[in-house]
Amino acid sequence: MKSLLLILIPFLGAILSALWPSNRTRPLFLPVFALAHTLLAFWFLTRPPGFDPAAWLAFDPLARAILPGVSLLFLACAVYAVSYLRLHPQDNRVFVAALLLVLGLLSAGHQARHLGILWIATEAVTLAAVPLIHFLGTPRAFEATWKYLLVGGTGIALSLLGSICLGYASLHGGGSGDITFTALLEHGPLLSKVWVLAAWVLLLVGYGTKMGLAPMHTWKPDAYGESPGIVGAILAGGVTSVAFMALLRIKSVIDAAGESVFASRTLLGLGLFSTLVAALFLLRTRDFKRMLAYSSIEHMGILSIAASFGAPGAWAALFHIWSNGLTKGALFLSAANLQRAAKSSSMDDVRGMSLILPRSSRIFVAGMFAITACPPFAPFFSELLIIRVGLGAGQGWAIGLFLFCLLLAFLGLSRIVFAVVDGRPRLKNPERIHLKETAGIIAPSLALLVASLWLGLFTPQVLRDAWSAALLQLFAQP
Amino acid sequence: MNEILNLLTGLAVGLNLLALGTSRLRLLIRAVAAQGVLLGLLPLLLEHGAMDWQLVFITIATVAGKGFIIPTLLHRAMRTANIARELEPFIGYISSLLLGAAATIAAVVIAQHLPLFPEHVGSLLVPGAIALILTGFILLIGRTKAISQVCGYLILENGIYLFGLLLIHATPMLVEFGILLDVTVGIFIIGIIVDRIQRAFDSLDTRKLTALHE
Amino acid sequence: MEVLDILARLLVWLVLAPLLPGIINKVKAWVACRQGPPVLQLYFDLARLWSKGVVMSTMASPGFLIAPAVAWVAVVAAAMLMPLGRAGCIFSFDGDVLLLVYLLALARFSTAWGAMETGSAFEGMGAAREVSFAVLAEIGIITAILTLALESGSISLASMFTPPPGPGAALLAVGLFIILLAENCRVPFDDPNTHLELTMIHEVMVLDHSGPPFALILHGAAVKMMLFSALLVQAVLPLAHMPLGLSLAAMAGGIVLVVVAVGLVESLTARLAFRRVPLLLTIGFLFCLFPLLLTWMEGVL
């Protein structure tokens, strides 16, 4: 029951910040509650609490394997948000409360062991993120919010439909209507096959939309491009990981029902397609925040590919969630600095940022190398592992296509990043830049980058253990 | 009981076609509202005599949400956005009607290939749900106006709700969750209204600024 | 005896049919609070036209005279296949329902042919409109017939009208009524009274006809009206299961009801804009399609 604190603390923070009168001091709630959350999450990581298998919400091994990473990312964003909101004099009551609400719901989503609770958490996260994306209030932000709601809402609807199908499959197999994952796994072989397949397809599309797998990715570039950088980082590192974890949990049920071949194939196909689509769009886009969105789509594809390779692949996927989340956070936060200084995120307007914001630019470039899997950052090791697992599973052609996409993505990313960073500053009014590179806006992204480096070089044993324990939970049934 | 259930579901499917064939937003909203009320009454029919508070709650919440609150909001959004007709849809009315009919036929075919409990075999519950979901998608994809898209989403959601009724005995919770989808819709519509109001204020502000400047 | 029987039945069709346009006009007059022409007006018109001569365009071939005759024969032949409740039909064989569809198509073809014979672009336009809308209407008729065939398991008109009561019959009635309006060129598809050049469909095709051929056209239209009304009534009411007298009375009452409904629609609604006609015809088709779906579902489940 202690693990409920992970959900309740952010909720408490959300309520308090919504009631707090001062617009200036309200953002301080974010780092305080995020720190409490992170400390608690890491406490549970090192000392896993026991849990009741029939519980609806519990800090089970899978939550233990992912949630601390999300919490860490959120902490960095929360620290950044303080200095960010200081420069935005508009009312931040809804923004702060919604951010903390998102954190609480993310914790709930990661800990959900019940199909319905999982769905509610995902739905609520989607809705709580709406004011975040709309924060800047521009017409473009509204358009992005609308697309996000429409596509995300449809995804949510489909995942509810899929959950109903899975419930019916269990009922048809003689179940009592209990749709906790424990019960579903137990009933696995009895589940009605047709309904299981229908459920898998719907849930894959539904949660895949939340993850941003192509072709359900259309909301992503707009939402990431038009919202503040912290929101992009949290969506890319936190919300997507809830959706991915939902798919992992569901896939274990599908595997138990004896349909693992079909599930793996669809995951692999969708993953490769996402990676390819993202790589091609990366070659075309001229906006560095949209670039990050496409990169996120690419990495969601990589996660799906990894998850399709059975237990060793799932281990690599858990590793990659951490490395992608941390590195993407560093990229988003440094990109936010560049955008705030240049008042634009298009490579046509923004040039020579290394002369204007040298530190952010350096982090941005390093983050670019990290996310395109250059050693010694964590993504290199996790992707190397995925490739080795894939070759071991005999999926040579898939890995070939995957490597080709990685190459394209590298070309696309480096093209934009160097265009933005290098050259002579070509801003509309360069003398008007007020953004100073204070510790408040540099430290979070730097910390995330260092975390990514550290994760790659010395993957801590406690994390390795957590990921292996999560595999035991997912692949207990042969 | 089954007869009335099938009749209500059939009427709901018929309202689909009305929604697909009309260009008037007011009529579209009414059709969707009527569909919501029809479907909202179904849980009472499914339960053979026995009434419990959960069922009554689902019924009241659904009928109120789908039949009254959301349509009222939609009407308001329509007035603030000042549009009454969908003029140039992506998919024309005849094509969407024919697609809708094809979707209905497909729904029946699909439903026949799904293994169902004996008590669900003769009923229109499953084919009706699939037809509603597909129709919702046709509207979502085929229309350009935000309000029509919201109506499409509502029909999609009605379909999911209908589907959820299969589980109303075993896991009534899932049906209740469906009501949360209505909240999503509410936020959609509030989004439209807020955006309109904001734009109105924006233009007002700009004019004020130039006035001060002169 | 056989021959007398056939003749008597044929007379029923030929003599009673011209009543229907008269009833429609009377209904319209009542709604508009007018006296209106007498119900028997069409008989007078036919007699007058029959005694007149024919004016022919210099462009026209004899086909101009033959086409209305072919159309009339086709429509009357179709009527001979259509049963009248328990009284049965004049000719019947397996698959005659297909012949009915083809005869109606033949009638339409000859009317269009006659219109083209004049060499006027205006009438050609009317013919083009008529056949393009007919494509949509015909799909509806065929669907309705499929429904009836599936319900009864028969493809002979004499034995296929056994509609089970239920929502299917109601839907079919609406669908067939829409198609009846389209096929018989009534409002909201076409206005039989219009002389506005741009809105005419059917009237424009027969504009140059005169004398006895025109009488044939008018009479053929009346028979077609009765044919469709009979189809509609029998597709909805299970007349075959009623005793003879009741069946005939129901038949007559049903036809009059349909015709009155046509008159009311004509008085109360406006003519549709051209681009919306296909939409309404599609709706009519769907109304016929859904009973088919219902019947099929019941058969499978």
Q: What is the tens place of the pLDDT at every residue in C82-123?
A: 988 887 788 888 889 999 999 999 999 999 999 888 888 888
Query: Structural domain of residue B169, as residue ranges?
Result: 2-206
Q: Which of B129, B179, B125, B127 is nearest to B156 (CA)?
A: B129
- Given A130, A160, A172, which is nearest B115 (Cβ)? A172
A154/B170 Cβ within 8 A: no
pLDDT computed for residue B204 by the predictor? 41
The pLDDT confidence band at residue B173, using thresholds 50, 70 and 90, is: confident
Indicate the number of domains in chain B: 1
- Given B14, B97, B112, which is nearest C282 (Cβ)? B97
Query: Structural domain of residue C213, as residue ranges?
Result: 20-29+39-53+71-300
C296/B108 Cβ within 8 A: yes
Residue corresponding to tokens 């027969």: C206
Interface test with B, best of C290, C296, C300 (most B CBs within 10 A): C290
Interface test with C, best of B85, B108, B121, B130 (most C CBs within 10 A): B108
Residue B8: closest CA among chain C residues belongs to which residue? C167
Indicate the DSSP class of residue A20.
Answer: -
A167/B170 Cβ within 8 A: yes
The answer to whether residues A200 and A115 touch, using CB atoms and an 8 Å cutoff, is: no
More confident residue, B198 or A399: A399
Separation CA C68–CA C212 (nearest Å): 9
The answer to whether residues A331 and A369 touch, using CB atoms and an 8 Å cutoff, is: no
Question: What average pLDDT does the structure give for chain C?
Answer: 88
- Helix (H), strand (E) at residue B130: helix B125-142
Enter the tokens of residue C207: 């504009």
Separation CA A304–CA A268 (nearest Å): 6
Q: Is residue C180 part of a domain?
A: yes
- Given C167, C282, C293, which is nearest B108 (Cβ)? C293
pLDDT computed for residue A95 by the predictor? 92
Q: Is residue B211 part of a domain?
A: no
C-alpha distance from B105 to closest chain C C-alpha (Å): 7
A194/B160 Cβ within 8 A: no
Identify the three-state secondary structure at position A445: helix
pTM over 0.95: no
Chains C and B touch (3+ CB pairs under 8 A): yes
How much is the average pLDDT of B100-119?
88
Q: Is residue C12 part of a domain?
A: no
Q: Report the alpha-carbon angle C212-C8-C181, nearest 5.
A: 60
3-state SS record for C147-181: HHHHHHCCCCHHHHCCCCCCHHHHHHHHHHHHHHH
Q: Is residue B20 part of a domain?
A: yes
The answer to whether residues A441 and A80 touch, using CB atoms and an 8 Å cutoff, is: yes
Indicate the number of domains in chain C: 1
pLDDT computed for residue A254 by the predictor? 92
- pLDDT over 70, % of chain B: 87
pLDDT computed for residue B203 by the predictor? 47
pLDDT in tens, chain A (478 residues): 688 889 999 999 999 999 998 888 899 999 999 999 999 999 999 988 888 888 888 899 999 999 999 999 999 999 999 988 888 878 888 899 999 999 999 999 999 999 989 999 999 999 899 889 888 878 788 888 888 888 998 999 999 999 999 988 888 887 777 888 888 888 888 888 889 999 999 999 999 999 999 889 889 998 998 889 899 999 999 999 999 999 999 999 999 888 889 999 999 999 999 999 999 999 988 899 999 999 999 999 999 999 999 899 999 999 999 999 999 999 999 999 888 888 888 888 888 888 888 899 999 999 999 999 988 899 999 999 999 999 998 888 999 999 999 999 999 999 999 999 888 876 665 556 667 788 888 999 999 999 999 998 988 999 999 999 999 888 875 4
- Given C278, C293, C300, which is nearest B105 (Cβ)? C293
Contact with chain B for residue A159, Cβ under 8 A: no
Indicate the number of domains in chain A: 1
Q: Is residue C7 part of a domain?
A: no
The pLDDT confidence band at residue B191, using thresholds 50, 70 and 90, is: confident
Identify the three-state secondary structure at position A440: helix
B188/A150 Cβ within 8 A: yes
Q: Is residue B181 part of a domain?
A: yes
HSE of C298, CA atoms in CB hemisphere, 13 A: 15
Contact with chain B for residue A467, Cβ under 8 A: no
Q: Is residue C62 part of a domain?
A: no
> How far is residue B146 from each of residues B27, B134, B142, C75, measured CA to CA in Å?
15, 18, 11, 50
Contact with chain B for residue A149, Cβ under 8 A: yes
